[in-house]
Chain A
Amino acid sequence: MKAFIAMIHRELLEHRGAFLVAPLGLVAILAGATILAFTVGRVDARMSGQLMTMVPLRIAEVGLLGLAFAWLLYLMGTLFFYCADGFSADRRNNAMLFWKSMPMSDFRVLLSKLAATLTIFPGMIFAVSLLSGLLLVVVITVTTQIASGTGLALIGGLLGSFVQVALASIVVLVLGLLWCMPFMAAVGSLASVVGRWAIPLSLLLPTLLSVLEWVTFGGLSPVHTHTWKYLSYRFDFPLVEGYLQGWFNADLPFSAPSFATDLLGRIDWPQMAVGWGFSLLAIYLASEYRRRRNDN
């Protein structure tokens, strides 16, 4: 287990650029821009502050949720590229034989890469998203304080919203990543065979499979095939339906527990389990391929 954790840590060391340096850089730029906006008077603190006093918590919630969603998109994007890149990096960096001289099977090495997509990488992004959320809380507090002098009174409520959104983010991250695991495993496995060609291939493959089914079994068009329907169903994560929609239309404070129970109830658990099985199989097949080829 110690070795396995070390291998996950190794992935972070190798890809700290995308999962630590770049996000922190983004937050730094954001913070810098905010400070700049205040100092040069670009933001009319009075006006926006007054806006805040009307529905301050509502705006904070929307802002925090928006930020969390933006980070989720960032995470999905980088994880996709990581899978295509990280799973083939050993070969490309010419260090394959070094890793093969370690007492660790190819299956465990590839599994550690998949585990990294589920643990340390989202963990890093989550930490950075908390930082950016706190920054937003500070901005709202300061502007409201300047405009109406009620900013400091607001801070308790703001932090409450911050915690609720953070809790909801964790739930979304955990469930979303578990749901998406087969896609990451598929891209990663593909990458261990074809290298970074996995990027275009993984985008092409669903279309190719659908066309294949369409050609063989007929149907209205490639997008009306079972393959296509299944893949689009499988890719869809029920995030914005249900509670979130209701919350948006009603005037209730955002509640992480209600959001979580609602989301948990709308997840197709059998499909979730099928996805995990598929992931393990894909990783296993890729590791058998990696075990056999030694042209590094």
Chain B
Amino acid sequence: MTDQTTAIAPIVSAHGLRKKFGNREILHGLDFEIPPGRIYGLIGHNGAGKTTTLNAILGLTNCEGTIRVLGEDPFAKRAKLMENVAFISDVASLPKFLRVRELFALLSNIHPNFSQEKARSFLEGTDIRPEAKVKHLSKGMVAQLHLAVVMAIDAKLLVLDEPTLGLDITYRKRFYRRLLEDYMTEERTLLITTHQVDEIEFMLSDIMFIRDGDLILHMQMETVSEKFSQLVVSDPASAETARGLKPVYEETRFGQTVMIFDGADRAVLETLGKVSTPTLSDLFVALMQRPTVNPGDAR
């Protein structure tokens, strides 16, 4: 959202990113750049390569190809990078043996960009007491505590891998509200993966769909409506005509046919039925089932 669009250094850039486990290739050469100030959604099925991609960004795994985060090779410079990158992993939990107070004290000694005051203020209004031991907190409270910890780190990139997994809707809403209210700025970049796509659809500025180790879609949310259209048709004749326009996905709901088109002329579609922009979850279902990959679609 800056006016000077002249070559802002990307936060993350990947070129030909590949990862093999034994003979099985998990990532088939990803190319992407993540500019600063954006909220990215990385979306894909389990085992599609989401976590591997995140691990590559966070320097937790060694990959072929080039990957740079804030200009550094994350695998070689993980320790240094973590001063400016924070993350919550889906499987990570906080050290159970610590009290909240001890955790904060420890972090303020270990992490140069951690602010104990901020972390404390984020816990105000929650049931988490400084004397509480992490192992005695509920799952939702641990998630809140972990979010307070990462938000108290003055980082340039925050990666959240399924941060709300297993939390109820109240916690989830509060979690994202906190992020938008107290954390997100123009200098910060957020990368989120989640299965509850609908909940964060409007939060995202960009989306990346990953399927079977390939990046099949990478675009700004604003341009989704320019590229994809959803058409609802009631009569079989129109449906037949619409089929001629090669929808990428088709299904029947309540006797109506719902089709999703990639790059079709909306004016033409309007004559056949009701046209709208597909929701992210509809798009996800449509593209994940698409039999042939067209790599040209990915930006």
Contacts and interface: CB of A to CB of B under 8 A. Distances in A.
Interface residues of B, number: 32
Given A94-B93, A100-B58, A103-B79, 8 more contacts: A94-B91, A95-B95, A99-B95, A100-B82, A101-B82, A102-B110, A103-B111, A108-B79
Interface string B242-277: 000000000000000000000000000000000000
Given A5-B109, A9-B106, A101 B92 contact: yes
B289 interface: no
19 contacts: A6-B106, A6-B110, A9-B106, A14-B97, A14-B98, A95-B94, A97-B89, A98-B92, A98-B95, A101-B58, A101-B82, A101-B85, A101-B86, A101-B88, A101-B89, A101-B150, A104-B82, A292-B61, A294-B61
Interface string A84-112: 00000000011111111111110010000
Nearest to A16: B97
A97 B92 CA distance: 5
B79 A104 contact: yes
Given A6-B110, A9-B106, A93 B96 contact: yes
B95 A2 contact: no
Interface in A253-296: 291-292, 294, 296
Closest 9 CB pairs of A and B: A6-B109, A97-B92, A103-B82, A105-B79, A294-B60, A97-B89, A103-B83, A3-B110, A95-B95
A10 interface: yes
A150 B92 CA distance: 64
Which secondary structure dominates where chain A touches chain B? helix
A105 B78 contact: yes
A7 B105 CA distance: 11
A174 to B, nearest CB: 26
B110 A294 contact: no
Contacts of A95: 92-96
